[in-house]
């Protein structure tokens, strides 16, 4: 029975990925900054561990507690919606620490085992915003684009060791707490208020394609179980449409 470790499982995509793999008889290590075992169905194949991806000691303790794994899914992250002019540099640093450096640090923590085993899969969940720019997300997009670049080169480095690396790029989802948890700064500033209204109207358009949490779980499942899957896997109808436009 194979084991998957997923970061950021308290809600949203991470929670759905954990549920999806549990339902398919995998051993699941679901990690959260503040563990909440009750958000997942009871199972003898589930372990819920505390993990803060910005804390080296927390990473070390979680990886040691998890033991040998077959798959790492780097999903933890948050956004800041703000004109680039106003996003606080402290928030930019926090986003890079979580979204980018946290992903790199978690990957480094498991790679010795994967390399020695000659097997393993790393899946990094980033964003479809890296395929099509959307104003008011410049700093967030930068954190995810950096992960994309890291992932592409990581794949080349690890291929000789039998370790696969994939990117999953979700679109916009109203089903997650991602927007609720996002830092929103100066969106009502007179210089940018009109642009912000247009962006949010587009996001709230009921006829527009969106991403469901299960779309992301299915994309991660494909990345993990299908060796012929592409490096970049869009997740959700909107992400798939953007990927087609980018070709």
Would you call 140 a catalytic residue per the annotation?
Answer: yes
User: Can you give the pTM of this predicted structure?
Assistant: 0.91
- The count of structural domains within the chain is 1
Question: Which parts of the chain sit beneath pLDDT 70?
Answer: 175-188, 200-208, 246-247
Q: Which domain range does residue 235 map to? A: 3-246
Please tell me which residue in 13, 26, 114, 140 is annotated as part of the active site. Answer: 140
What's the Cα-to-Cα distance from 97 to each of 27, 33, 102, 213, rounded to whole Å?
28, 14, 6, 24
Q: What is the pLDDT of residues 40-75, one digit of tens each?
A: 999 999 999 999 999 999 999 999 999 999 999 999
- Count of C-beta atoms within a 10 Å radius of residue 24: 11
Q: What is the pLDDT of residue 8?
A: 97
**CA pair distance 128, 242, nearest whole angstrom:** 7
Q: What is the pLDDT of residue 181?
A: 45
Q: Which CATH number do you get for residue 144?
A: 3.40.50.720
């Amino acid at each position: 029975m194979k084991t998957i470790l997923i970061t950021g499982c308290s809600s949203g995509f991470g929670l759905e990925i954990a549920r999806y793999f549990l339902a398919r008889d995998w051993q699941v290590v679901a990690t959260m900054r503040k563990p909440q075992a009750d958000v997942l169905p009871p199972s003898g194949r589930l372990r819920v561990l505390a993990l803060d991806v910005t804390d080296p000691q927390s990473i070390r303790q979680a990886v040691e507690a998890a033991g040998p794994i077959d798959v790492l899914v780097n999903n933890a992250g948050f956004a800041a919606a703000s004109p680039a002019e106003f996003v606080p540099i402290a928030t930019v640093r926090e986003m890079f620490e979580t979204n980018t450096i946290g992903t790199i640090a978690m990957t480094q923590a498991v790679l010795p085992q994967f390399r020695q085993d000659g097997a393993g899969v790393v899946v990094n969940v980033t964003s479809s915003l890296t395929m099509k720019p959307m104003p008011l997300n410049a700093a967030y997009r930068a954190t995810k684009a950096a992960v994309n670049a890291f992932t592409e080169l990581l794949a080349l480095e690890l291929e000789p060791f039998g370790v696969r690396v994939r990117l999953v790029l979700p679109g916009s989802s109203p089903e997650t707490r991602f927007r609720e948890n996002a830092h929103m700064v100066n969106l009502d500033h007179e210089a940018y208020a009109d642009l912000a209204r247009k962006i949010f109207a587009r996001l709230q358009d009921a006829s527009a394609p969106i991403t469901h949490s299960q779309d992301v779980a299915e994309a991660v499942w494909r990345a993990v179980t299908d060796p012929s899957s592409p490096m970049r896997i869009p997740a959700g109808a909107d992400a798939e449409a953007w990927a087609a436009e980018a070709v």
